[in-house]
Amino acid sequence: MWAPTADALHLKLYTTGTGGEAVADFAMRKAESGTWVFTLPSQPAGRFYVVQATIGGQKMAEVPDPYVHAVGLNGQRGVLLDPATVNPMGWLDDQRPTLAKPTDVIIGELHLRDLSMHPESGVEHKGKYLGLTESGTQGPDGVSTGLDHLAELGISHVHLLPTNDFASIDESKLSENRYNWGYEPLHFSVPEGSFATDPADPAARIRELKQVVQALHQRGLRLVLDVVYNHTTDAARTSFEQLVPGYYYRHNDDGSYSNATACGNEIASERPMVRKLIVESVAYWAREYHADGFRFDLMGVLDSETMRAVRVALDQQDHSILMYGEGWTAGPSPLPETARAVKANVQRLERIAAFSDELRDGVRGHVSRREEPGFASGHPGLEESVKFGIVAATEHPQIDYSKVNYSKTPWAASPAQTINYVACHDDQLLWDKLQSSNPSATEAELIQRDILSNTIVFTSQGIPFLPIGDEFLRTKGGSHNSFNQPDSVNQIDWGRKARYARVYAFYRELLALRRAHPAFRLPTRKLVQQHLEFLPNLPPGTIAYRLRDYAGGDTWRNIVVVFNGNKAPTAVMVPAGSYTVVLRGDHLVPAGIEKLPPSANPFALKMPPSTAMILVEK
């Protein structure tokens, strides 16, 4: 144990995960570099343990160690358990699905509980890890649900909101049916117990999360874990403060906790032993649980050197493991901006990606101004912000960066460093945002704008991201922060998949189009600059570009993509050529919807309102 300021350190053993008296108490011996050591004699299986420091003559609370890998109920005590001894059958044969390059990634974001809690989900283990392992589940009108739905949608990666041990759910009172996203970490390297069939059994949460990984991998899906290393739950109750007070957190000049996370504290990732813990924790999830990617919550709170060290550690296992995060903070931090893993520094974070809020707010409207529409709903002046996302936040000579909503310079060195999206678990879902910003629109008009919004995302360069359920117009009743709201708000309503079957079918076709055509997945900035040209002299509220000369080795010679964000029809001048229309609005036929008359000169393409069109020269 590392506890350099402790006067004494004791290791205590218990027979239960909570309550009872210690059955053994061992004084640890002070060793080099602030560490304390004790060699534990052989113990009966399943013994629980804590450590207790004495600092400045005061006995601190009993806590598990910061590196704990197995815990009992509510994470109060660690347990003597080798996670390898509770592997599910066939675990050693588990293999990551192949991934050729990062821009082939398509991410589907999901809270594990949301997938199965609806009464009509057809899933037996509702709200549990095992609910994500069930196949053959069906909802209303026989629609596939759960794991089968994820497999048929066409995504490559399933991004699960936090599954590490978090503090907001009392695992001893699951009958209360409390809900939380889980952004309140208690232990960095242990699975959450409320998703397990038996939270009091330390082996259950480990084995069942590994079964999730197996089930996804067997369907060709990779797993992204949403990891929260930027803060913890109430600092006073953590192992950090009970063992080395003041070291693991950043502080203001007056000694109070700094709060760039808006969660009460922020982790001092730049300190050597904190960095060591974070790097080894991420590497542990990848090695022990075969995780294929990591999404870093408020990545901008962490320092760049730590993020680079994580990348190196993961590369020692597999270069294809994905890393991305939120390239911002939620408030000021004492860590200098130049040292943070924010968007502005992403070019110095090789093979680490960040979310593009430029595209998000350009397409759908400002995230905080709920009634303000975006490009897809006819709001003027957002064309350059959307184009910024289309080229994946990389440098492109045809973009006027002074007109981009947020970043005034490109921040990505390659398309693989940009996550493009129009919705996630945070803030309003796309359907809810479209409703609040288009109060007089009909349902048919809202569907047009929904489809236009994600057509932009899935034809843009970079890595596209979709919250699961948006493919059939998921709603949370307008909620913009459902982190602790009940299942009735958060659960995926599978009845909407049946009701909006045509919308869902279009989304599947859209994802298939992206997978089939490398022109939409160019791996380098140079290739984007070489093959993607924006068309000139366009009417306001429209964007058009051409992917030319078999971009990325595509089978299509030239691809013209046109977006009309206006609520009225308009005409866009398209280069001369012999085109086949493959996409118009919600109609997508890769073999062709219709052939346009060949033209030796540029011609006016008539665009319906709130519509995307794709023309190809085959």
Strand blocks (E) in 19-164 = 24-27, 29-30, 36-37, 48-55, 58-59, 78-79, 107-110, 157-160
Distance, in Å, from the CA atom of 401 to the CA atom of 395, rounded to the nearest integer, reads: 9
Torsion of CA 597, 603, 609, 614, to 10 degrees: 60
Choose among 417, 441, 428, 429: nearest CA to 474: 429
For the packed helices 430-437 and 443-459, what is the interaxial angle rounded to 10 degrees?
Answer: 130
Distance, in Å, from the CA atom of 152 to the CA atom of 157, rounded to the nearest integer, reads: 12
Cβ-proximal residues to 23 (8 Å cutoff; 6+ apart), any chain: 13, 14, 15, 47
Query: DSSP for 173-225?
Result: -GGG-------SBS-TTSB-STTSS-TT-HHHHHHHHHHHHHHHHHTT-EEEE
Cβ-proximal residues to 85 (8 Å cutoff; 6+ apart), any chain: none
CB-facing half-sphere around the CA of 195: CA atoms within 13 A = 33
Strand blocks (E) in 274-358 = 293-296, 322-325, 353-355
Are 474 and 492 in contact, with CB atoms under 8 Å apart?
yes
Distance, in Å, from the CA atom of 584 to the CA atom of 607, rounded to the nearest integer, reads: 9
φ and ψ of 483, to 5 deg = -60, -30
Are 79 and 86 in contact, with CB atoms under 8 Å apart?
no
H/E stretch holding 617: strand 611-617
Q: Name the amino acid, one letter, at 595.
A: K
Rg of the chain taking only CA atoms, in angstroms = 26
Are 605 and 542 in contact, with CB atoms under 8 Å apart?
no
Q: Which two tokens stand for residue 259?
A: 């709060």
Distance, in Å, from the CA atom of 551 to the CA atom of 546, rounded to the nearest integer, reads: 10
Query: DSSP for 298-318?
Result: TGGGSBHHHHHHHHHHHHTT-
**Burial degree of 108 (CB within 10 A; 0-12, 13-18, 19+):** buried
Cβ-proximal residues to 490 (8 Å cutoff; 6+ apart), any chain: 111, 113, 114, 117, 179, 476, 482
Which of 326, 358, 383, 586 is flagged as catalytic?
Answer: 326
Which of 266, 297, 383, 470 is flagged as catalytic?
Answer: 297
Q: Is 297 a catalytic residue?
A: yes
Cβ-proximal residues to 466 (8 Å cutoff; 6+ apart), any chain: 106, 107, 108, 109, 155, 421, 423, 454, 457, 507
Query: DSSP for 566-592?
Result: SSS-EEEEE-SB--EEEEETTEE-TT-
SS3 354: strand
Distance, in Å, from the CA atom of 467 to the CA atom of 227, rounded to the nearest integer, reads: 17
Q: Is 326 a catalytic residue?
A: yes
SS3 322: strand
- Indicate which residues carry an active-site annotation: 297, 326
